[in-house]
Amino acid sequence: MRNCAKCERELEAGEAEYCPACASSKSHKIKKILEVAGPIALAAAGIAFKLLRRK
């Protein structure tokens, strides 16, 4: 069987390159936002922690 290009889930008959969850534009947008916002939020929290600890 073939696997989804993104999440490696086995594809059912009739599914193309991506599974329905990965092909969904809403799901895809949320995943992309989390991929970008997650590291930014962690970096900001780390900087804020260092600044607050310095005082």
pLDDT tens, 20-36?
877 777 777 888 899 99
> What pTM does this model have?
0.49
Read off the DSSP letter of residue 7: T
C-alpha distances in angstroms, 14 versus 10, 20, 27, 28, 53?
A: 12, 11, 20, 20, 56
What average pLDDT does the structure give for the chain? 85
Q: Return the pLDDT at 55.
A: 62
